[in-house]
């Protein structure tokens, strides 16, 4: 068994690691304003930069989960943090659109192994009734980062510039890698080999996970909710500057309220999800997706920036709940032996959305001469798709996989 002290140390480091990864990810959404100007890029090229990370991130989800199940969560975590730190630093040395796309792609490859392996580590070290809470603590760092990034990005970009900023972020990541190496260790009585199938058995389990209907629904739900999340995260800074007329400092302050909402939502969601009766997750999740669709419509029709941010804050509450609910379903419904693989498959949907959506929005905005209306309608449609995928979840199929494992 893992002691409470050991669990808390692991969770603290996962929290820090996820925070640094999210900062690196979110910072590009603000830095791209300066990068676009320096490299003289159009909206489609900007979309390519924002999407290139997600191409690598999505590509690594399934291999990252499989490697975590096969080689152990600790090894994959350390390599993941090290690799993304190196390519974060290299982002500050780009000289062209092509070099930026390539470096951000490999940054995505590096970060792609973190969530599947961290999810597996949580499933190994926390009891079932604490896993959603543990996941909410880790993911809440994303909310804290989203609160800090707007203001800190504005300061960094207007003082030291985007190139030096990326070099500093990469150096911080190297320090975090060393901390993972020293402190993330499973006790001797918890052999990872005992928690995963081997050989032909593992290959058979992978095929079962891939073919299980619950995974198809989760894949679609992940894609839909992350399309909304990353569509907003990647393009809202540009939208608020170019369409709503904010400057960088005002933008930073305007985005602190949604950031606070995400932190609150993550902590509250973990508490609520751990106490939901089995089978009720999909109903509550579907209702949340309906609320997201309605709020998105109100948001892009808001008559003022104040109302826009108010609706954005509320929509963040519901998006955060669904984004925590989906991995919690995997942690609670599927065996630890396949958590990495299962999370990798499902999260591939989310990260494909992260790749496609920013690129699609860039194309839409350029096609409609700077109008974002069609882009917002696309996000509303994804809210509807997410609702349907959750309502049609078949938990019995997940229980069959549990029994077979």
Q: For residue 293, what pLDDT is reported?
A: 96
pLDDT at position 224 over 90: yes
For residues 179-196, average pLDDT: 64
Distance between CA atoms of 118 and 403, rounded to whole angstroms?
A: 24
For residues 349-357, average pLDDT: 82
CATH class of 4-183+198-404: mainly alpha
pLDDT at position 77 over 80: yes
Cα dist from 302 to 102, 126, 296, 297, 329, whole Å? 38, 43, 10, 9, 34
Place of tokens 């993550």: 266
Query: Which of 312 and 41 is assigned the larger pLDDT?
Result: 312
Q: For residue 64, what pLDDT is reported?
A: 80
Q: For residue 403, what pLDDT is reported?
A: 45
Q: For residue 395, what pLDDT is reported?
A: 66
pLDDT at position 194 over 50: no
Work out the pLDDT band at 193, boundaries 50, 70, 90. Answer: very low
pLDDT digits 0-9 by tens, 356-367: 888 888 888 888
Burial (CB count within 10 angstroms: exposed 0-12, middle 13-18, buried 19+), residue 152? middle
Annotate 106-118 with DSSP letters as a single string. Answer: HHHHHHTTHHHHH
Find the Cα–Cα–Cα–Cα dihedral 308, 314, 316, 318, rounded to 10°.
-140
Q: For residue 348, what pLDDT is reported?
A: 83
Distance between CA atoms of 56 and 91, rounded to whole angstroms?
A: 15
Collect all residues with Cβ–Cβ distance below 8 Å to 82 and sequence separation of at least 6. Answer: 110, 173, 174, 177
Cα dist from 204 to 42, 64, 340, 371, 404, whole Å? 47, 18, 15, 49, 10
For residues 303-311, average pLDDT: 89
Q: For residue 187, what pLDDT is reported?
A: 59
pLDDT at position 168 over 50: yes
Q: For residue 203, what pLDDT is reported?
A: 52
pLDDT digits 0-9 by tens, 33-58: 888 888 887 777 877 887 788 788 87
Query: Which of 145 and 107 is assigned the larger pLDDT?
Result: 107
For residues 196-209, average pLDDT: 56
Q: For residue 197, what pLDDT is reported?
A: 46
pLDDT digits 0-9 by tens, 329-344: 887 777 767 777 787 7
- Residue ranges per domain, the chain? 4-183+198-404
Mean pLDDT of the chain: 82
Q: Which of 206, 210, 228, 207 is nearest to 219 (CA)?
A: 210
pLDDT at position 191 over 70: no
pLDDT at position 384 over 90: yes
Q: For residue 405, what pLDDT is reported?
A: 46
Query: Which of 66 and 195 is assigned the larger pLDDT?
Result: 66
Q: For residue 198, what pLDDT is reported?
A: 45
Place of tokens 């979840």: 393
pLDDT at position 266 over 70: yes
Query: Which of 107 and 154 is assigned the larger pLDDT?
Result: 107
């Amino acid at each position: 068994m893992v002691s409470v002290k050991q669990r808390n140390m692991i969770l603290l480091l996962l929290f820090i690691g996820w925070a640094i990864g999210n900062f690196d990810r979110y910072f590009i959404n603000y830095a791209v304003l300066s990068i676009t100007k320096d490299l003289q890029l159009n909206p489609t090229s900007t979309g390519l930069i924002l999407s290139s990370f997600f191409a690598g991130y999505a590509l690594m989800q399934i291999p990252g989960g499989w490697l975590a199940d096969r080689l152990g969560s600790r090894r994959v975590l350390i390599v993941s943090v090290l690799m993304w730190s190196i390519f974060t630093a290299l982002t500050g040395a780009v000289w062209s659109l092509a070099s930026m796309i390539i470096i951000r792609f490999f940054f995505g490859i590096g970060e792609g192994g973190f969530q599947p392996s961290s999810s597996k580590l949580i499933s190994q070290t926390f009891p079932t009734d604490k896993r959603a809470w543990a996941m909410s603590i880790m993911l809440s760092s994303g909310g804290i980062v989203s609160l800090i990034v707007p203001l800190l990005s504005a300061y960094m970009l207007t003082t030291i510039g985007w190139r030096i900023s990326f070099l500093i972020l990469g150096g911080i990541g190297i320090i975090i890698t060393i901390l993972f190496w020293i402190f993330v260790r499973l006790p001797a009585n918890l052999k990872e080999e005992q928690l995963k199938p081997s050989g032909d058995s593992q290959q058979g389990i992978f095929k079962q996970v891939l073919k299980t209907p619950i995974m198809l629904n989760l894949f679609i739900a992940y894609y839909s909710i992350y399309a909304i999340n990353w569509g907003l995260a990647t393009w809202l800074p540009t939208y608020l500057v170019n369409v709503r007329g904010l400057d960088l400092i005002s933008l930073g302050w305007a985005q602190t309220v949604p950031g606070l909402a995400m932190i609150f939502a993550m902590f509250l969601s973990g508490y609520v999800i751990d106490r939901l009766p089995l089978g009720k997750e999909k109903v509550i999740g579907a209702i949340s997706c309906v609320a997201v669709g309605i709020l998105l419509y109100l948001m892009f029709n808001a008559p003022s920036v104040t109302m826009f941010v108010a609706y954005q804050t509320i929509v963040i509450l519901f998006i955060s709940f669904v984004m925590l609910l989906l991995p919690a379903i995997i942690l609670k419904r599927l065996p630890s032996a396949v958590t990495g693989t299962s999370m990798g498959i499902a999260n591939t949907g989310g990260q494909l959305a992260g790749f496609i959506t920013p690129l699609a929005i860039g194309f839409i905005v350029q096609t409609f001469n700077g109008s974002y209306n069609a882009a917002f309608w696309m996000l509303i449609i994804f809210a509807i798709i997410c609702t349907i995928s959750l309502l049609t979840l078949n938990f019995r199929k997940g229980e069959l996989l549990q029994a077979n494992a």
